[in-house]
Amino acid sequence: MEEDNDNDYEYHLNDPGEIKQQIKSYQLKTKIITGLIIFLIILFIGVFGFFIYYFIIRKNDDKKDNNSQPNSNTNKVFNLSSLINVKYGDDVNKIENTFKINGSNYNETFGNINQGKDYALNPSKNIYDLYIPKNLNKTQYNKILLLIHGGFWTMGDKSAFTFLCQDLANQRYITASMAYSLLNSTNYNSSIFRILDEVASAIKSIKKTLKEKGFNEAKLELAIGGASSGAQIALLYAYLYRNSTIPIKFAINLVGPVTPNNTYYYQLKDPNKPLDSIDQESIDKAIKETTIEPIKQALNSSNPMELVNLFLGYKHNEITMQDKRCLQLLITFQMLFPIVYADKKVVPTLCLYTGKDMVVGVRQYSYFKSIFANKNKIDLQYCKNLPHEMYVEGSSDTKECFSGLYKKISNFSNEYFSKNK
């Protein structure tokens, strides 16, 4: 029996078919075990990677967003330009080459550095005035205020902010006032998209200029603002452009139209009786008591397509209400105002509105604040006795108004600009 068993055992050891089967079975088990191990490793890496991203990287990004600007990706292409055929949606680099600094370092005794000479030398008008206070520490954080002039997008120039730039330069801010292609220009393919690209290009040029003058480019920070139509441009850039060349810490809105909706354009019934306050409760009360009334010639009350053509770069009356593209372009036009984005995580915003404004009226701010996502990051300087132009010759109200504005800019600066140690 033992001999038979030995033979049987010997037989099985030498059976090629059974050996192959055993080998296949072993290989299959090995593959299954190996695959399972690989799967578990990949799963572990995935879970670990997700943990790193969600709890560390994302939170750090959120912190950066809260301290700088709300968006990411690139500022090369304006994110609305895909809706229509925009000529200047991605032309930043071409525009950048035409921007130049006008004038030299700000000096209190030097006065106005503009003098209009640059327009004769550079018909493209892609220029900016730059005011640099003396004796700044170039290795530390430095604060820049860029201002964009108003004029219903069709007139005005950067010299409108000469006095403001000089005043703020005396308070240790680097200041700049830029020109841009006016929307009624016949020499350019003007559109709001081109203007926004010009803003991006001006900021690039300012950074380059300051770097050449020895400033630490990694420690430059920006607040961007404007007056009236310039405020609309500044807020739109601050809220929508991504990864600005110089990080944007906050925005400044001086009597800006934040919405194209005529419902929010109200003026005083008696220009000599301005409201004591323009908060929501005061505005509601004034409407009820008819002390304020709708502005008859509001932003787009006569023919909305006039502004649509102007903003989007079409010729006068090229797009009419009968045009098949009309509805889509009207929607796009409405998306070009800050109110659309105020309920998102946007940069802190300082506003100035006036009590005798007959252009954008007295209801813009209360509406703006009601939509604004973080009420703690929006503030108002209310100048009760001034008109839309924010100036009355010989009046102490102008001085008082801007004195209050400078204090609020200082407060925003202390809170949102990085501090030197």
Spatial separation of the C-alpha atoms in residues 131 and 164, rounded to whole Å = 11
The predicted pLDDT at position 60 comes to: 52
* Integer-rounded Cα radius of gyration of the chain: 31
Regarding the domain delimited by 77-416, which CATH topology (the fold level of the hierarchy) does it fall under?
Rossmann fold (3.40.50)
The predicted pLDDT at position 51 comes to: 62
The predicted pLDDT at position 144 comes to: 97
Spatial separation of the C-alpha atoms in residues 40 and 30, rounded to whole Å = 15
Cβ neighbours of 106 (radius 10 Å):
21
Find where tokens 């005396």 sit. Answer: 170
Spatial separation of the C-alpha atoms in residues 13 and 301, rounded to whole Å = 98
Interstrand relation of 142-148 and 220-227 (parallel, antiparallel or unpaired): parallel
Spatial separation of the C-alpha atoms in residues 156 and 154, rounded to whole Å = 7
One digit per residue, pLDDT tens: the chain, 421 residues?
A: 444 444 433 333 344 445 445 555 656 666 677 777 777 777 777 666 666 655 555 445 444 444 433 332 223 334 454 444 444 334 444 444 444 554 444 434 333 333 333 333 444 557 888 888 888 999 999 999 999 999 999 999 888 998 899 899 889 999 999 988 888 766 556 788 878 878 888 888 889 889 988 999 999 999 999 999 999 999 999 998 767 899 999 999 999 999 999 899 999 999 999 999 999 999 999 999 999 999 987 776 667 788 888 888 888 888 888 888 888 888 888 889 999 999 888 999 999 999 999 999 999 999 999 999 999 999 999 999 999 999 998 889 999 999 999 999 999 999 999 998 7
The predicted pLDDT at position 384 comes to: 96
Tokens describing residue 256: 């800006």
DSSP H helices, 244-336, are 280-288, 304-312, 326-334
Q: What is the pTM of this model?
A: 0.75
Tell me the longest C-alpha to C-alpha distance in the chain: 129
Cβ neighbours of 95 (radius 10 Å):
22
CA dihedral 192→199→161→231, nearest 10 degrees, is 50
Spatial separation of the C-alpha atoms in residues 157 and 114, rounded to whole Å = 11
Three-state DSSP class for 313?
coil
Query: Which class for 25: exposed (0-12), middle (13-18), buried (19 or more C-beta within 10 A)?
Result: exposed
The predicted pLDDT at position 56 comes to: 56
Each residue's pLDDT tens digit, 88-100: 334 444 444 444 5
Three-state DSSP class for 352?
strand
Three-state DSSP class for 169?
helix
Cβ neighbours of 84 (radius 10 Å):
17
- For every residue of 212-239, DSSP letters joined together read HTT--GGGEEEEEEEETHHHHHHHHHHH
